[in-house]
Structure 1
Amino acid sequence: MELQTPRLLLRPWEESDAEALYELAKDPDVGPAAGWNVHKDVEESREIIRTILSAPGTFAILGRRDGQLRGSCGFFPTRAQGAEAGELEIGYWVGKPFWGRGIAPEAVEALLAHCFTELGAERVWCAYFDGNEKSRRCQEKCGFLFHHTERDVHWAVTDEIKTEHYSVLTRAEWLARQKPED
């Protein structure tokens, strides 16, 4: 399955993306803010594509015109406290060369449309770690409303204790934000 926006193509990850992934994931400003370790080499990036990024609902974010990798996004069952069974969560990251260009909100909007219209979700959650203001702003731009904070969360991927802030968007709120078609 692929999703498209005016500027982006969201498609399943391929092993051939490993070199491009490594170029973005080796930057220490990218992974740790999103909750994962800096990649050490192309082979590690290839293994992460095989074992993590190949999960259903996970997409490489590419430019539609140039095919260049910009980041990753996906949806999965939420782990948020207070969520009901079957509710989804969205996660995303964008490589530093593409920060400040509206890539994350555009990708998140495509995921939201899919989650609400194709998957029938009633609520979609999104979280960010303390200090990740770019992610907080992305969520606000996409209509998410702050719900709660979870402190002292053991994040196994990096073996750290983190504070995670959760936001949520309902189907009704999302529908109200959609522009009527002319």
Structure 2
Amino acid sequence: MQIALRRVHDSDLPVFFRQMNDPESLMTAAFTPKDPADRDAFDAHWRRVRASSDVPRTILADGDVVGSAAVYGPPGEREVTYWVDRAYWGRGIATLALSALLAEVPERPLFARAAADNAGSLRVLEKCGFRPTARAVGFAHARGRDTEEIVLRLEG
């Protein structure tokens, strides 16, 4: 399977919206928008992201849009995030996409966060060189309750 990143196109947004409304994906990610089904909020978010200094990318697998990855936030506190369609989980796509994004964005340190029980995402982050540095508890909208998360850091 050929994995590639490219700039986000308008035609990617309906795919991202569908992916971000999969109930199992939402529960696994935990830390999601308050109302992922709010299309106006989704569109406003992506307008801000695409107009900012963030680095959003579309993940392609054999030319098909399968998710997104990004680096966002202020210098010195920048974080990575990614989302892969559940139909593609377990194929190494997130690891390859995040590795490609990290090669594209050389600044360090970078940070990441994942729900403490999201073993798949934690494994992806650790394969890409992130190391756990802290634990925190935050309100996870997808779960409707406080959820423990792991904070990870990637050095130079």
Q: Say yes or no: TM over 0.5.
A: yes
Measured against the shorter chain, the TM-score band is 0.7 to 0.9
The whole-number CA distance in structure 2 between the counterparts of 1:92 and 1:133 is 15
Distance 1:150 1:44, change over 3 A: closer
Shift of 1:141: 1.2
TM-score (norm 1): 0.68
Sequence identity percentage: 26
**Ranges in structure 1 where 5+ consecutive residues have no aligned partner:** 1-5, 79-84, 172-182
1:93 paired residue number: 83
Structure 1 segment 31-70 matched on structure 2, within 5 A? 31-34=26-29, 35-37=31-33, 39-40=36-37, 46=43, 48-52=45-49, 55=52, 56-63=54-61, 65-66=62-63, 68-70=64-66
1:115 aligns with 2:125: no
In the alignment, residue 134 of structure 2 is paired with which amino acid? H
CA distance in 2, matches of 1:48, 1:32: 21
- Partner of 1:133 in structure 2? 119
CA distance in 2, matches of 1:142, 1:23: 27
Q: Which residue of 17, 37, 47 maps to 1:22?
A: 17
Length-normalised TM-score, structure 2 = 0.78
Any idea what the Cα deviations from partners look like across 1:99-141, whole Å, max 9, x if unmatched? 011111111111212222xxxx231211101211111110121
The equivalent position to 2:152 in structure 1, one of 164, 167, 171, is: 167
Residue among 100, 114, 131 paired with 1:145: 131
Partner Cα distance (1:14, 1:20) in 2: 11
Q: Which amino acid aligns with 1:75?
A: V
Report the CA distance shift for 1:169/1:51 in structure 2 as closer, same or farther (over 3 A): closer
Change (3 A) 1:19 1:62: same
What letter corresponds to residue 141 of structure 1 in structure 2? K
Gaps of 5+ in 2: none
Does 2:73 correspond to 1:77? Answer: yes
In 2, are the aligned partners of 1:19 and 1:45 still within 8 Å (CA)?
no
Residue 52 to residue 157, structure 1, CA distance change in 2 (3 Å)? farther
Q: Which consecutive segments of 4 or more residues in structure 1 shift more than 3 A?
A: 37-55, 154-160
RMSD value, Cα = 2.9
Q: State the structure with bigger RCO (CA 8 A, min sep 6), 1 or 2.
A: 2
Give the partner amino acid of 1:88.
Answer: R
Distance 2:142 2:48 in 1: 13
